[in-house]
Amino acid sequence: MQTPHGIRHISQAAWRLLFPPMCPFCEATGHLDGALCPACRETLSPTQSNTCGRCGAPAPRHLALEAGCPRCRKQTFAFAGVYALGDYAGALQKAVIKMKRPCGELLALSLGEALAGIIPDATVFDAIAPVPMHLTRRLARGVNSPEILAEAIGRSVGARVCIDLLRHRRKIAQQSALAPRERKRNVREAFRVSSSWKIAAASILLVDDILTTGATADACTKVLLAAGAAQVRVAVVARGGVNN
Ligand SMILES: [Zn+2]
Ligand SMILES: [Zn+2]
């Protein structure tokens, strides 16, 4: 006769046989925890890269970035800096697209963990907040990736995640469907800070999928600063170009 432990053991073994843990990006099996496999982790989150601290854009290694990079030097942002795993291109672009699709949760969690790994001192943040996704878009997409990314970063660094810190004031058009100069107008006064949180003097990490023109992150940052936040930095999986 089997002990309850034995039954549990057999059922876990059977479960693993039917659904072997796999890398959520390349779907290779053989990993114990279902996280990104070592090859995908290196591809999607290179350990050796030079990125602009101001806007998160990858930059040639020799370039001095104190005053920003060629992509952001002429822009003004309310946020203090951006962390990004890399450019919205190649494998990282495919990963972002896959992460946003139904069943992309595990990949979003893995990318959030990788993102936490490139933030030098994430413990300085008093709160981690995702860029909010409007209910209609959330229902259409099925996956709220900014929220999952924020949860994964919070879990990795032990920081408080405030899922509902930012709210929509109104529905906005999808930024990626608009020309860069229209994006700022689209998100102007589109967000508000939830009255259930007090963020006076808080240092906040704002989390989103992609940063392209920076208009959405900038609009969110402005309301957080107006509500008393001391500083806002942004973490995104990928830094988009002007065409995406
Ligand atoms: Zn993989
Ligand atoms: Zn830059």
Rounded-to-integer distance, Cα 120 and Cα 18, Å: 39
- Are 194 and 168 spatial neighbours (Cβ–Cβ below 8 Å)? no
Average pLDDT, integer, range 53-61: 83
Ligand nearest, relative to CA of residue 39: 1
Long-range interactions of 179-183: CB distance < 8 A, separation 24+: 180/212, 180/213, 180/215, 180/242, 183/212, 183/213, 183/215, 183/216
Give residue-wise pLDDT tens across range 158-193.
999 999 999 998 888 888 888 877 888 888 888 999
Ligand 1 centroid – CA 107 distance (Å): 10
d(CA 151, CA 160): 9
Question: How far does residue 30's CA lie from ligand 1's centre (Å)?
Answer: 10
Angstrom distance (rounded) from CA 63 to CA 60? 6
Any idea which ligand is nearest the CA of 41? 1
Nearest listed ligand to the Cα of residue 110: 1
Cα 71-236-149 angle, rounded to 5 deg: 175
CB 34 within 8 A of CB 24: yes
Helix axes 215-226, 180-187, angle to 10 degrees: 30
pLDDT at 54 over 80: yes
Which residue is it, tokens 């003004």? 76
- The Å distance, Cα 17 to ligand 1 centre, comes to 19
Q: Report the separation in Å between the CA atom of 82 and the middle of ligand 2, taken as the mean of its atom positions.
A: 9
| Among the four given CATH numbers 2.60.40, 1.10.10, 3.40.50, 3.10.20, the one describing domain 51-239 | 3.40.50
What residues form DSSP beta bridges with 206?
129, 234
Which token pair is 233?
């930095």
The answer to whether residue 139 scores a pLDDT higher than 70 is yes
Token readout for 82 is 């951006």
Q: Which long-range contacts (CB under 8 A, 24 or more apart) does 175-184 make?
A: 175/212, 175/213, 175/215, 175/216, 176/212, 176/244, 180/212, 180/213, 180/215, 180/242, 183/212, 183/213, 183/215, 183/216, 184/213, 184/215, 184/218, 184/219
Work out the pLDDT band at 1, boundaries 50, 70, 90: very low
Contact indicator for 165, 127 with CB cutoff of 8 Å: yes
Query: What global pTM score does this model have?
Result: 0.87
The ligand with the least distance to the CA atom of 114 is 1
The SS3 of residue 84 is strand
- Residue 80 CA to ligand 1 centre (angstroms): 33
Where in the chain are the domains?
A: 51-239
Least distant ligand from the CA of 57: 2
| Per-residue pLDDT tens over the stretch 12-38 | 677 667 777 889 999 988 766 778 999
